[in-house]
Amino acid sequence: MLDLKTRKHVVDLFNKGVKLELIADEFGTSVEELEKSIIESRKTVTDENFERALKSSKNKSNRPTSVSKMNIIRNRYLKAMEADTSVKAALKPTNLPEQMKESDDVFKRAVGIISDYQNSPKEEKGKKYFEFIELLKTAKDLPFTIEQSQTYLKFLNMCESSDVYFSIKGKKKQTLQDTKRFLISKLCDAAEKRAEETMSTDELKKISIALTSNLERYSPAITSAQNKIDSKITKIVTEKAIYKLRYDVSDEIKKIITDIADGNLDVSEAQKIIQQEAEKKYRKLPESNFKGSLEQQREQVIMQIRAILTDRPKEFPIRLPQKAIEQLDLLTDNINHNQSVSTVVKNLYNSGRIEIAKQLVDTEIKRKNDYMFYRGLKREIIFHEVGEMVLDYINNPHSIEEDNTFIDLLEQRLRAEKISLSSISIGQNVNTGRKISLADIWYEVPKKFK
C-alpha cells in the first residue's frame, strides 16, 4: 500500500491529467494499486459526506429528497468522474452477471452441438448445423466474449467449406451469412470492450491479433475495431514518450529541483550538472539530419525542471518564491523571466497558496512587466481558485439554504469576472482520462456569464 505522501503525489499528478499507467511507472507500482487508492479515497469522502448530509437533513427537518442546484452538480460530478475503474465494474452497465451466466450456458450447449456435428454422419450434419443457428438466435441480446465469438465463427467457417453448405439453398444459405455478420459484430463489441479495460500495450496487441486471426479479417467491422485498438496503442506509446520527455530525470536533476524549492541552489554547480546531463542525452541520440543541437538538449533538461516544479508541487513545494524565480532565471543563458515566474506561480497555486501566487503576479504587473502575459496568469490563478472552491463545496454537503447561497454567490462572481464555466477545471474521468470542466456538471445548460 502506498504511503500517505506518495498517495497525495499520485492524486496530484492524476488531477493534472497524467495517465495512471505513466504514474505507475514513475512510482514503481501497479495501475491497479493506484486505481484502488484513488477510488477508496473518493469513496470514503463520498460516504462520510452522505452521512453528514443525512444527519444535517434530519436535524434541520429538511427532506432528504429535497434537491438543490448544488446537489444536481454533486450528482453530475460523481457520474462524470466514474470512480469505479475495476474491470468487473466496467462490465456492469451492459454485461450483468446473469447475462454472462446465460451466455456461458449457451456456449456450453453450442460446444456440445459442435461436437455432435463433428461426430455425426453426413446426413445428420445439416440438422446439427440448423440446431446451432437456432441456439444463437436465442442469444442475440447476450454479450459474447472474444473466445466465444471466435469459436462460433470457426464452426460456421467449417460448415461453409463443407458439403453441408452446398446442400443448403435459398434463404437458409442467407441465414448462415446473416449469422456470421451477427457474430462478427459480437466479436468486435467484445474486443472493443476488453480494449477499453486495459492500458497494457501487450494486452491490446493480443486483442488486435485475436481480431485478425479469423477468416473475416477483411471485414469492414473488424477493420474498424482494429483501427480503434491500434489508435489506442499509438496513443499510449506517445503518452509514455511525452511523460518520459517531461518527467524522467536523474537523481542529480531531482537534487537541483529540491534545492530550487528550498531556496539554496548553487547555480554554478547546477549549470555544470545540467550541461553534463545534456551531453549524455545528446550522445544517445541517433545520427540523423534531425538530431538537433546540444543546446536544445540543455533547454530540454531545464524544461523538465520547470515541468516538475509546476506539476508536482506537493513533492517540491517552493518555500522562497522570489529566490526561486532568480535561480530559474540564472539556469539558462536565454533568460525567460516570464517562464520563471509562471513556474513558481503554478507551483504556489497548485499547492494551495493562492494569495501568495496572486501577490507575486501583482508585483510583476506593478513593475510593468508584460502586462498581457501576467493578466492571463492572474486569470489562471482565479480559474484554479474557483475550481478548488467548487470541489470543496461538492465534497462537503451543506443545507439546502447554504447550497443555494453558495450558487448565488458563485454565479455573481462568474458574471462579475466574466468567467466561463468551461474554463473551470474540476478533475478528470478515472476511466478515460477526459478532463471535466464546470460546464460538464452544471445544474442547467451551460451559459456565458456577462
pLDDT tens-digit map of 100-137: 889 999 999 999 999 998 888 887 888 888 899 899 98
Which residue, chain included where needed, has cell 458563485?
410
**Sign for the pseudo-dihedral over CA of 289, 276, 343, 239:** positive
Taking 60 as the threshold, does the pLDDT of residue 296 lie above it? yes
Q: Which residues pair with 427 in a beta bridge?
A: 436
Give the pLDDT of residue 395.
87
Give the pLDDT of residue 47.
44
The average confidence (pLDDT) of the chain is 81
CA-to-CA distance for 208 and 203, rounded, in angstroms? 9
Angle at 41 between CA 35 and CA 46, to 5 degrees: 125
Q: What is the mean pLDDT of residues 300-324?
A: 94
Give the pLDDT of residue 90.
35
Task: Pick the more confident residue, 28 or 235.
Answer: 235
Residues 6+ apart with CB under 8 A from 279: 294, 297
9-13, 68-72, 158-162, range with the lowest pLDDT: 9-13
Q: Which residues pair with 436 in a beta bridge?
A: 427
CA-to-CA distance for 442 and 435, rounded, in angstroms? 15
Q: What is the mean pLDDT of residues 146-173?
A: 75
Percent of the chain with pLDDT over 90: 36
Q: Which residues pair with 428 in a beta bridge?
A: 435
CA-to-CA distance for 125 and 444, rounded, in angstroms? 61
Query: What values do phi and psi take at 235, rounded to 5?
Result: -65, -45
Listed residue (190, 41, 45, 38) closest to 107, CA to CA = 190
User: 18 pLDDT band (50/70/90 cuts)?
Assistant: low
CA-to-CA distance for 68 and 57, rounded, in angstroms? 13
pLDDT tens-digit map of 207-251: 888 887 655 545 788 888 888 898 888 888 888 888 888 888 999
Query: What values do phi and psi take at 435, rounded to 5?
Result: -75, 140
Give the pLDDT of residue 430.
64
Q: What is the mean pLDDT of residues 402-413?
A: 92
Give the pLDDT of residue 110.
92
Query: What values do phi and psi take at 436, rounded to 5?
Result: -110, 130
Task: Pick the more confident residue, 221 or 317.
Answer: 317
